Structure 1
Amino acid sequence: MNNFPKLHNATWPGLVGKGPDSEPVIPFDSLLEMTAAAEVNGVKFDGVDIGLLEPHINLDAPDEAKKVADKVSKYNLNIGSMVAPIWAGAAMGTEEQRKIFLEMVRKSCEFGKELNDLGVRKYGVIRIDSASSVEAWSKDPKGNTKQIADTFREACDIAAGFGEKLAAEGEICWGAMHSWKYMVELMEMVDRPNIGFQADMSHTFLYTLGYNAPEHRILPKDVDLKDRGAIEAALKTVTDALRPWTIDFHVAQNDGSVFGSGSHDKTGRHCQATDPNGLLDIAHDAGYWLRDENGNLTKAFKHICWDGCMFPNSVMENQQTWNDILAAMIKVREAHGWSE
Structure 2
Amino acid sequence: MKLHNAMWPGLVGKGDGPDQEPPISLEHMLDLTAAAEVNGRKFDGIDYFLFLPHTDPEASDDDLRKIADLIQSKGFSVGSLVAPVWPGTIGDSAMGDKEQTDKFLSAVKMACRVAGIFNEHGVRQYGVIRIDSAEFGVEKWREDPQASTAKIANTFREAAKIAADHGERLAAEGEICWAGMHSWKDMLDLLEAVGMPESLGFQADLAHTYLYLMGYNAPEHALLHEGYSEEEFYAAYEQMTDKLRPWTIDFHVAQNDGEVHGAGDHDKTGKHCPADDPNGKLDIVKCAGYWLKDADQRGIQHICWDGCMFPNATLEQPGTWNTILDAMIKVDESLK
Decide: shared fold, TM above 0.5.
yes
Q: For residue 268 of structure 2, what is the aligned residue in structure 1?
A: 266
Q: 2: distance between equivalents of 1:64 and 1:211? A: 42
State the alpha-carbon separation in 1 of the partners of residues 218 and 115 from structure 2: 34
The equivalent residue for 1:288 is 290
Question: Is the 1:7–1:329 Cα contact (8 Å) retained in structure 2?
Answer: yes
SS at match of 1:287: helix
CA distance in 1, matches of 2:242, 2:180: 19
SS in 1 for 2:250: strand
State the alpha-carbon separation in 2 of the partners of residues 266 and 181 from structure 1: 19
* Secondary structure at the counterpart of residue 258 of structure 2: coil
- Mapped pair 1:199 → 2:195: no
In structure 2, C-alpha distance between the alignment counterparts of 1:316 and 1:185, rounded to whole Å: 36
Partner of 1:314: 313
* Structure 1 match to 2:24: 26
Corresponding position of 2:113: 110
In structure 2, the partner of 1:169 is 173
Aligned to 1:15: 11
Q: Determine the C-alpha separation between the residues in 1 that align with 2:264 and 2:52.
A: 15
- Bigger relative CO (Cα 8 Å, ≥ 6 apart): 1
In the TM superposition, what whole-angstrom CA distance separates every residue of 1:83-141 from its partner, at most 9, and x where no partner exists? 00000211011111101100000000010011000000000000000001311211111
Specify whether residues 299 and 144 from structure 1 end up closer, same or farther in structure 2 by C-alpha distance, changes over 3 A only. Answer: closer
Distance (Å, rounded) in 2 between the aligned partners of 1:20 and 1:232 = 42
Give distance in 2, aligned partners of 1:56 and 1:252.
Answer: 22
Determine helix, strand or coil for the equivalent of 1:41.
Answer: coil
CA contact (8 A) 1:58 1:64 kept: no
Distance 1:300 1:331 in 2: 21
Tell me how far 1:223 sits from its aligned partner: 2.2
Question: Structure 2 residue aligned with 1:180, among 179, 184, 191?
Answer: 184
Partner of 1:122: 125
For residue 214 of structure 2, what is the amino acid of its counterpart? L
Structure 1, unpaired ranges of 5+: none
The letter for the 1-side match of 2:37 is E
* Cα distance, 1:32–1:97 mapped onto 2, change above 3 Å: same
Aligned residues: 327
Q: Distance in 1 between matches of 2:143 and 2:128?
A: 31
Query: So what's the TM-score if we normalise by structure 1?
Result: 0.94
Q: Where do residues 123-162 of structure 1 align in structure 2 (5 Å cutoff)? A: 123-132=126-135, 133-162=137-166
Per-residue CA deviations over 1:192-211 (Å, capped at 9, x if unaligned) read 12100000000001000001
Whichever residue aligns with residue 131 of structure 2, its letter is I
Which runs of no fewer than 5 residues in structure 2 stay unpaired?
none
Q: Which amino acid aligns with 1:305?
A: C
1:175 partner letter: A
Partner of 2:50: 52
Tell me the CA shift for residue 285 of structure 1: 1.0
Tell me, what secondary structure is at the counterpart of 1:151?
helix
Look up the SS of the partner of 1:172 in the other structure.
coil
Which secondary structure state, in structure 1, belongs to the residue aligned with residue 321 of structure 2?
helix
Which amino acid in 1 is paired with 2:133?
S
Q: Is the 8 A contact 2:153 2:193 kept in 1?
A: yes
Aligned partner of 1:333 in structure 2 is: 332
Contact 1:57 1:64 in 2 (8 A): no
Normalising by the residue count of structure 2, what TM-score does the alignment of the two structures yield? 0.95
Q: Within 1, Cα distance between the matches of 2:194 and 2:250?
A: 17
CA distance in 1, matches of 2:63, 2:108: 17
The letter for the 2-side match of 1:37 is A
1:232 Cα deviation from its structure 2 partner: 1.3
Cα displacement (A) at 1:74 = 0.6
Residue identity opposite 2:223 in structure 1: I
Aligned partners of 2:199, 2:299: CA distance in 1, in Å? 13
1:269 aligned counterpart, secondary structure: strand
Question: Over aligned residue pairs, what C-alpha RMSD do you find?
Answer: 1.2
- Cα displacement (A) at 1:228: 2.1
1 CA distance for matches of 2:83 and 2:34? Answer: 24
Amino acid at match of 1:112: A
CA distance in 2, matches of 1:92, 1:297: 32
Instruction: Quote the offset at 1:176 in angstroms.
Output: 0.5
Task: State the percentage of identical aligned residues.
Answer: 57
Aligned partners of 1:291 and 1:298 also within 8 Å? no
Counterpart-to-counterpart distance in 1, 2:244 and 2:299: 13
Residues 250-298 of structure 1: CA distance to partner in whole angstroms, max 9, x if unpaired?
A: 0000111110011111111101001011011111110000116xxx975
For 1:216 and 1:181, how far apart are their aligned partners in 2? 7
